[in-house]
Structure 1
Amino acid sequence: MTSPAEPVSKGERVMQRLVQSAGAASEPAADMADLAEVVRSLLAGQTYRDTRVRLGRGLFDVVITSAGAQARSAVALMDKTQDGCGPVIEDPDGGWLYWLVPPGSADRWAPHLHAACLGAPHTITLPSLNRTAPPGPYWHRPPASDRLAPPSPLREALAQLEPEPTPHAALEDRLGITH
């Protein structure tokens, strides 16, 4: 003979529903895979390895300009007016500067004659944190804490200094992106 079920309190019923709605313990939450990928990428950079990361996703977007004299003047101008311009990667082989700007900047970036801004779903390879000179891409301005290049002052500096060549044709050839 079975004994009647003991009454279950309202608190116990709520807890049972929470446990059931959470799913199996072996199934990670849907957004945890993205978080794990970001953490692995950031740890790779700290262990002195280049690492590929997806733009956006709460990290950063990227503004692309030439790496010529005018663009270097823009770095100096940003250093002066912003008390540091934020992180910039230089690719000497491609002749480009990659300015790391806040995530979502690509959505608000109006077409610019001398720069392009990309966000998700594009990716970028970050040089290891100890790479500050060629060969290969390196940190022209290494990251300092959580500071990124502010898009509005950067846009103004680039409009004033007009770095050439523009990245638009290269992006169109490589990614099919037009401005």
Structure 2
Amino acid sequence: MTGPAAPLPAGERMMQRLVASAGAASEPTADMADLADVVRSLLAVQTYRDTRVRLGGGLFDVVITSAGAQARSAVALMDKIQDGCGPVIEDPDDGWLYWLVPSGSVDRWAPHSHAVCLGAPHTITLPSLNRTAPPGPYWHRPPASDRLVPPSPLREALAQLEPEPTPHAALADRLGITH
């Protein structure tokens, strides 16, 4: 017989609430109009316009970390692991990095003390492909073909380097999740 489960740390409790608020990680496309919207959005990025896209749905999920020195070291480590890191967006206003990971990663991402993984129904604004410096969000590592950041090596790099400050509380506040 086992005793009562130990209470989860506050960060893990917030992560569980954040994941629960997201709902299903991938919703099937209701009709071809949804697919057409996705294609139009991606073409807009290619033609040098910022565009908002829904996470998941076969495109990608996103891992969010701080954009501090430890996170930049994680990018350098992923450069070595991937022979050039997959796509990463930096938002200097919020101080975050958005790592684009394969769609469905949110289903396999266990709570992490230094990162949050989000998928559908959340959205992200992709900067135009020519935006590689501030002001505003820009491509810290621009996309190269169909390569995304692999979640397992990223998770290990973030656990090793511990980028601070963590995004958990700020995301919970932004998404209206109570602690």
- Residue 178 (structure 2) pairs with residue 159 (structure 1): no
Which amino acid in 2 is paired with 1:104?
G
Distance 2:30 2:95 in 1: 39
Identity of aligned residues (%): 92
Distance 1:50 1:177 in 2: 27
Structure-2 residue corresponding to 1:15: none
Distance 1:118 1:60 in 2: 10
Instruction: Tell me the CA shift for residue 89 of structure 1.
Output: 0.1
State the structure with more CA Rg.
Answer: 1
Q: Kindly report the root-mean-square deviation, in angstroms, between the aligned alpha carbons of the 2 structures.
A: 1.5
Distance 1:95 1:82 in 2: 24
Greater relative contact order (CA < 8 Å, ≥ 6 in sequence) = 2
Distance 1:38 1:157 in 2: 31
CA deviation string 1:87-135 (max 9, x = no partner):
0000001000000000000111000000000000000000000000000
Moved more, 79-88 or 65-74: 79-88
CA deviation string 1:17-46 (max 9, x = no partner):
xxxxxxxxxxxx952011101011011101
> What TM-score do the two structures reach when normalised by structure 1?
0.82
> What TM-score do the two structures reach when normalised by structure 2?
0.82
Structure-1 residue corresponding to 2:62: 62
Structure 1 residue runs without a partner (length 5+): 1-28
- Residue 46 (structure 2) pairs with residue 51 (structure 1): no
Residue-pair matches, total: 151
Structure 2 residue runs without a partner (length 5+): 1-28
Deviation beyond 4 Å, 4+ runs, structure 1: none
